[in-house]
Amino acid sequence: MRKICTLMISMFAFLVLSAQTHTTRLSISSMKDISYVTLNGRAYYLNGRDRDRSIHLNNLSAGRYLIKVYTGRNGRGGGFGMGNAGTLLYQGYVQLRRGFHTDVFINRFGRGFTDEERIVYRSGRYQHDDDDDYYEYDDRWNQPHRQAMSATSFTQLKQTLGGRSFDQTKVNIARQAIKDNAFTAAQAKELLELLSFEDNKLELAKMLYPVTTDRSNFIIVYDVFNFSSSKDKLADYITQYRD
């Protein structure tokens, strides 16, 4: 009897692990409001649990999908192609893989950026593994006298970052915003406070320093770090930095 119970438990654990391994997750977020998205022609609408700027889909079949993201009217009632389907914000292809969470971020210019990471389960709970691979940071910001991001735009950026689950995804979204905006030291600190891991905070702090309008106040961001080694690394970077 004991052997039968052990065998049943083992089989159940195998089935659960197998289901987890074959799970797919897709998250789509935008700097603009999303009304609905279509995947290979099938529409998915936001519900009350989703933010106005993001949608999360689970257990999709692996494969290649044509994503279309719409803003404006939601297309219900009038049907597609009847002048009631909203405005196309973005379209592009994405490849979903079994066992991976794919994240698509659309910036304010309608340009999409795709990231993925393996779905990891530990102790029965979903965790991420920090093994992201976004585009390398292109430091083209070297234009003085820019004004810091407005309070409204900054609030929208924080909401977008706050809606993401992965630390590295937040960094990558902020990276895109940094290319076209400047920030005050206080804003930089608020962005860093949205991150959980020390290394990610340090990475983002180094990106933010060159685009900070009041660098003399940048010292306030040191408060977000827990380890003196991180503060020392940031101090070394600032000391050696040249425009």
Q: What is the pLDDT of residues 91-140, one digit of tens each?
A: 988 889 888 888 888 877 788 877 778 876 554 444 444 333 333 333 33
Q: What is the pLDDT of residues 158-169, one digit of tens each?
A: 999 988 888 889
> Which residue type does 99 have?
G
pTM of the shown model? 0.47
The tokens for 40 are: 């290979």
Pairing of β 63-71 and β 25-30 = unpaired
DSSP assignment of 93-138 equals: EEEE-TTEEEEEEE-TTS-EEEEEEE-EEETTEEE--S----PPP-
* pLDDT value, residue 121: 54
pLDDT of res. 73:
58
Q: Could you give the CA distance from residue 192 to residue 240 in angstroms, rounded to a whole number?
A: 21
